[in-house]
Amino acid sequence: MRTNCMTGDTMTTSSIRLALTLLASLAMTSAAFAAPPAKTGKTDKGNVLTDAKGMSLYTFDKDMEGKSACNGPCATNWPALKAEASDAAGDGYTIITRDDGSKQWAHNGKPLYTFAKDTKPGDVTGDGFLNGAWHLAMP
């Protein structure tokens, strides 16, 4: 047994272990509910998903669920919304593995991209690009 010098209360080793276990599980729970990788932003075309900088996000019709079809030169114009190794999926967001082995966020199974020609938050110049194959990602 230990005595808490601040309160004079006696604490057993098992109560200390219980307290530490509860603290550890709270820390893991908050990590599991990390902020989603995208936000909602306003554009001339309504509310859309955006990256952390407020840039519009897009989906590509040629992608299969959980698989990006935009690689090589396509990925230069349409950069993937990158996921880090420490990121965790949740709330409709998943993480896919690209052909080059990097990780990318997907929303409702659709990989997410920005558009190189969008220069400021709210730009939506990629919507409808390539005969309508590119679309704004909607919340």
Q: What is the pLDDT of residues 65-95, one digit of tens each?
A: 889 999 999 999 999 999 998 999 999 999 9
* Predicted structure pTM score: 0.76
pLDDT bracket for residue 36 (50, 70, 90): confident
Q: Could you give the CA distance from residue 11 to residue 59 in angstroms, rounded to a whole number?
A: 56
Please spell the DSSP secondary structure of 47-113, one letter per residue: EEEE-TT--B-EEETTPBTTB----THHHHHS-B-B--TT---BTTEEEEE-TTS-EEEEETTEE-B
Between 29 and 21, the higher pLDDT residue: 21
Q: Could you give the CA distance from residue 62 to residue 41 in angstroms, rounded to a whole number?
A: 25
Whether the pLDDT of residue 21 is over 90: the answer is no
Q: What is the pLDDT of residues 42-70, one digit of tens each?
A: 999 999 999 999 999 999 999 998 899 99
Residue 96: per-residue pLDDT: 97
pLDDT bracket for residue 12 (50, 70, 90): low
